[in-house]
Structure 1
Amino acid sequence: MWIDDWAAAAACQQSQPDQLFVRGAEQHKAKTVCAGCPVRTECLAEALDNEIEWGVWGGMTERERRALLKRRPNVTSWRQLLETAKGEHEQRYAVNG
């Protein structure tokens, strides 16, 4: 299920915002905040669709997001793509549980 008001449910709500806007090796530590986040996919879609250049979003650094955008330049809606993939994953998991 896709959550439109995802920011309220984000795991990073419990941390300081500055922890997600770091450089270098500190980014790997920041990504751990996203690891178990229930709205990680929604957050990532937001960052990709809006080409957000700074910080860790959805478990990806700005460098990782730029590389993904370059690899998939024809994606017009990351939300649509990721929402569909998330729904298919959840459906498969529910069936194969």
Structure 2
Amino acid sequence: MATAAVSADEARLTWVSQARCRGENPDDLFVRGAAQRKAATICRHCPVQLQCGADALDNRVEFGVWGGMTERQRRALLRQHPEVTSWSAFF
């Protein structure tokens, strides 16, 4: 079991290191309201957009822009697809 956890952690570190937002100010991605749509533009050409979004959905991250999705967009996806147990597999 520890091996699986290490592998998952390593996989997360790999995609995080490739994220386009990695060098950005985190405060720019944790904004409220309409500013989230603007913040999500950094995700448009990110090579790990799907991994980031899946991670946020799998872990029920409530705040910030992840994978190009606003908080509202993630909540809507979770409501529309309650049967999904792995967003990584879904995407």
- TM-score, normalised on structure 1? 0.79
Residue 9 of structure 1 corresponds to which residue in structure 2?
A: 18
**Structure 1: how far apart are the matches of 2:60 and 2:44?**
21
37, 50, 53: which is aligned to 2:46? 37
CA offsets 1:21-72 (integer angstroms, 9 cap, x no match): 0011211110001011000000000000000000000000111100000000
Q: 1:1-97, aligned counterparts within 5 Å? A: 4=11, 5-82=14-91
> Amino acid of the residue matched to residue 59 of structure 1?
G
> Amino acid of the residue matched to residue 49 of structure 1?
D
Count of aligned residue pairs for this structure pair:
79
Q: Name the SS for the 2:40 alignment partner.
A: helix
Residue 92 of structure 1 corresponds to which residue in structure 2?
A: none
**Stretches of 4+ moved more than 4 A in 1?**
none
**Structure 2: how far apart are the matches of 1:74 and 1:81?**
10
- Give the C-alpha shift of residue 14 in structure 1: 2.2
More RCO (CA 8 Å, sep 6+): 1
Gaps (5+ residues) in structure 2?
Answer: 1-10
Gaps (5+ residues) in structure 1?
Answer: 83-97
